[in-house]
Amino acid sequence: MRARITILPGDGIGVDVTREAVACLETIAEKFGHEFDFKTQLIGGVALDRLGVPLPDETLEVCLSSDAVLLGAVGAPQYDNNPPKLKPETGLLGLRAGLGVFANLRPAFLHEPLVDASPLKAEIIRGTDLLIVRELAGGAYFGRPREVTDEYGLNTMAYTAPEVERVARVAFEIARGRRKKVTSIDKANVLESSQLWRKVVTRVAADYPEIMLEHGYVDSCAMALVMRPTSYDVIVTENLFGDILSDEAAVLTGSLGMLPSASIGGKVDLYEPVHGSAPDIAGKGIANPLGAIASAALLLRYTCKLEREAKVLEDAIGKVLNEGYGTPDLKSQPKQITTSEMGEIVRRYV
């Protein structure tokens, strides 16, 4: 098959991990006889430096005319005090909005060799295999009005029923192919937007009688996630809660560097690791590229419908970990290697 894929390395370790993910896609293309046309574009801090905006028009246009987008990460400390319009993160939010993606799938799967890479007890995390479906187009991230002065900051968290319904349907559909359980996470004891959320999710659940639905509050979920992670299958939640819970879920898998994501439901799908640009390790060549590589596998599965190829790439990740290889964030792995070595070994197993 042929696919046009836009590559957005972005900032910091985004560059290092994306390079390895693209190389893995090239290996898959070669081995299975596919043709991927890659186009690299600017986003985030590098776009600010070169063009003065975090999301250049050309970047969005190229993304919209491609079949999928693979992004590394955006952000760096030198932009942290920029006005909102000139922040790298605003570029990423603009990209998500421009593509129209509204469901962000963040699977957290613990590879058995990494049980000791996590600070959590092995008996608690063993068997972790959950999927966070994070609403990506609404909530506090996109609420209007928004404002900041020296004395005042304003954001609003608002949801409409259709916004909740469409992401809930994604969660229930995916749960059908998994362990048939959906946990909807909200703060309905306090927030009106969550009261709507709970009502709509309950209504959607009626169309999926074979799926078990439970509701939970986000504060209690933050605790339960690290106490009984194996009790979760699919978690569906609003934008900000999903952002926070997914970084927490990363700890269950050994490292934030392990988590991939797929953002779907819009005009063009977007794939990115869950982690950020990691300024503390940027430029050192030691970032874990497996979240980015696993994101490329999701691209093969969801956009290209290449299930076998996706599985080959995911299995290669599993084998590399079984062999004891790991970047420094995976301290328990006996064979410590760099970002590019990790990419190379994954490709060898492919």
The question of whether 129 is a catalytic residue gets the answer no
- Pick between residue 128 and residue 295 the one whose CB is nearest to ligand NAD: 295
The CB-of-160 to ligand NAD minimum distance in angstroms stands at: 25
Q: CA–CA separation, 251 vs 166, rounded Å?
A: 29
Catalytic member of 57, 80, 207, 219: 219
Q: Which residue has the tokens 């590098």?
A: 46
Catalytic member of 141, 159, 208, 232: 141
The question of whether 243 is a catalytic residue gets the answer yes
With CB under 5 to 8 Å by kind, the binding choice for 93 among ligand NAD, Mn ion, ligand IPM, none is ligand IPM
277 is a site residue for ligand NAD (CB under 6 A): yes
The CB-of-247 to Mn ion minimum distance in angstroms stands at: 6
> Quick one: which segment of 178-186, 188-196, 218-226, 274-282 binds ligand NAD (CB under 6 A)?
274-282
The question of whether 187 is a catalytic residue gets the answer yes
Site string for ligand NAD, 54-73 (x = CB under 6 A): -------------------x
The CB-of-93 to ligand IPM minimum distance in angstroms stands at: 6
The CB-of-113 to ligand IPM minimum distance in angstroms stands at: 26
- Pick between residue 229 and residue 276 the one whose CB is nearest to ligand NAD: 276
Q: Please, are residues 2 and 66 in contact by the beta-carbon 8 Å criterion? A: no
Other Cβ atoms less than 10 A from the Cβ of 57: the count is 10
Q: Please, are residues 13 and 68 in contact by the beta-carbon 8 Å criterion? A: no
**Contacts of ligand NAD in 303-322 (CB under 6 A):** none
Query: Which token pair is 286?
Result: 């030691």
The CB-of-263 to ligand NAD minimum distance in angstroms stands at: 10
With CB under 5 to 8 Å by kind, the binding choice for 16 among Mn ion, ligand NAD, ligand IPM, none is none
Q: CA–CA separation, 56 vs 41, rounded Å?
A: 9
| HSE toward the beta carbon, residue 333, CA cutoff 13 A | 25
- Pick between residue 111 and residue 275 the one whose CB is nearest to Mn ion: 275
Nearest in space to 133 (alpha carbons), one of 22, 48, 239, 259: 239
- Pick between residue 136 and residue 205 the one whose CB is nearest to ligand NAD: 136
The CB-of-78 to ligand IPM minimum distance in angstroms stands at: 15
**Cα–Cα distance list, 147 to 80, 84, 150, 152, 158 (Å):** 16, 9, 10, 8, 16
> Quick one: which segment of 51-59, 196-204, 230-238, 251-259 binds ligand NAD (CB under 6 A)?
251-259
* Binder among 99, 235, 256, 313 for ligand NAD (CB under 6 A): 256
With CB under 5 to 8 Å by kind, the binding choice for 279 among ligand NAD, ligand IPM, Mn ion, none is ligand NAD
94 is a site residue for ligand NAD (CB under 6 A): no
Would you tell me which residues interact with ligand IPM (CB under 6 A)?
A: 75, 89, 92-93, 243, 274, 276
Nearest in space to 184 (alpha carbons), one of 114, 250, 242, 115: 242
The site for ligand NAD (CB under 6 A) is made up of: 13, 17, 73-76, 89, 92, 255-257, 272, 275-281, 287-288, 291, 329
Q: Return the active site residues.
A: 141, 187, 219, 243, 247
